[in-house]
Amino acid sequence: MKIGLLTSGGDCQALNAAMRGVVKGLANNVDNLEVYGFFDGYKGLIYGNYRLLTSNDFSGILTRGGTILGSSRQPFKMMRIPDENGLDKVEAMKSNYYKLNLDCLVILGGNGTQKTANLLREEGLNIIHLPKTIDNDIYGTDVTFGFYSAINVACDAIDCIHTTAASHNRVFIVEVMGHKVGWLTLYAGVASGADIILLPEIPYDDDKIIDAIKKRQKAGKGFTILAVAEGAISKKDAKLSKKELKKKLEEEPYPSVSYKIAEMITQKTGAEARVTVPGHTQRGGSPCPYDRALCTRLGSAAAQAIIDKDFGNMIAIINDKTKRVPLEDVAGKLKMVDPECQMIKEAKRIGISFGD
């Protein structure tokens, strides 16, 4: 059996753990396994940059962050557009797949990666996709790998801010990754006792943020901590069209939404406001034990799908069971936080403000 592996898009902590699960699951159950690793995501598949991997490559990587194959962003919308030398990328990917005579290509990545995986499926390749992203926004799986590891990092950052915030009577904003969704901010914010949590799914009102800060001040609390999703948006901005919003953001002097909120808080309350952006640390370090176990399960389940020749699927986890979900049913869909979900209601009940 010959399989290909590639990791595409932004990395996360548990990619190596997932690849190890796939390869061990196959090596223990099929004869004459050959594993080809394509470097730097789809780039390696397009330009034929790959290497035959050995069992040594997968030894000792369960706990190692990043990806042994490297990764890159190759936007889905550019896949049908020839490169600067006129190369047809889709044909090039197919040609490298057929040249190696692969039985299956295992693709680890997030939403954009998944769309290209589905495109390659439509083009006739045998594809298995594994749902990777710290954003947890892949539709059709309860959780993506990387998410829980990133919560740990974001949570550590907010925990550290807590002690210094208490000493200085300031307002602190910690900006959390997550692209267009608020899963990471919601979980890290609740887990670290943030006072105000702002998510893209719940546009905020400046006055509600100020009310929440004043309420804490009145109660004798010197500091307030906000966990703000990088995609958080005000009620006013949420009403703008995509084009209008883009123009407005380009004209604003802020590096990100948190700085805008910090300035607004200082103007309206006189309180000093500080911004911390943990940024890519949230994708770094070792995978947490949950992600190691999850990836071992997803990888092993992927191996079984390959053995069964059941291709064209994402391997998901639903109600603690691994499931094969057809790529055509999920590609291009986004899993967002439901503003009416239990977790938000529970958080509001204990006094956390969502700025709405």
Q: List residues near ligand F6P by CB under 6 A.
A: 10, 73, 110, 133-135, 177-179, 230, 283
179 or 335: whose CB is closer to ligand F6P? 179
Q: How far is the CB of 217 from ligand F6P (least distance, A)?
A: 32
Name the residue whose CB lies closest to ligand F6P. 177
Contact between 178 and 207 (Cβ < 8 Å): no
Q: How far is the CB of 7 from ligand F6P (least distance, A)?
A: 13
d(CA 299, CA 23): 8
57 or 230: whose CB is closer to ligand F6P? 230
d(CA 200, CA 232): 4
Contact between 174 and 331 (Cβ < 8 Å): no
21 or 112: whose CB is closer to ligand F6P? 112
Q: How far is the CB of 61 from ligand F6P (least distance, A)?
A: 21
180 or 323: whose CB is closer to ligand F6P? 180
Phi, psi of 182 (to 5 degrees): -110, 15
Contact between 290 and 276 (Cβ < 8 Å): no
Q: How far is the CB of 231 from ligand F6P (least distance, A)?
A: 8
| Parallel, antiparallel or unpaired: strands 50-53 and 34-38 | antiparallel
CA dist 314 to 171, 188, 230, 294, 309, Å? 42, 27, 27, 14, 13
**Which residue out of 135, 137, 195, 291 is catalytically annotated?**
135
Q: How far is the CB of 230 from ligand F6P (least distance, A)?
A: 6
Cross-strand bridge partners of residue 3: 35, 104
CA dist 257 to 105, 123, 194, 246, 260, Å? 39, 40, 17, 13, 5
Sign of CA dihedral 202, 205, 209, 215: negative
143 or 306: whose CB is closer to ligand F6P? 143
Q: Reply yes or no on whether 88 is catalytic.
A: no
| Active-site residue set | 135
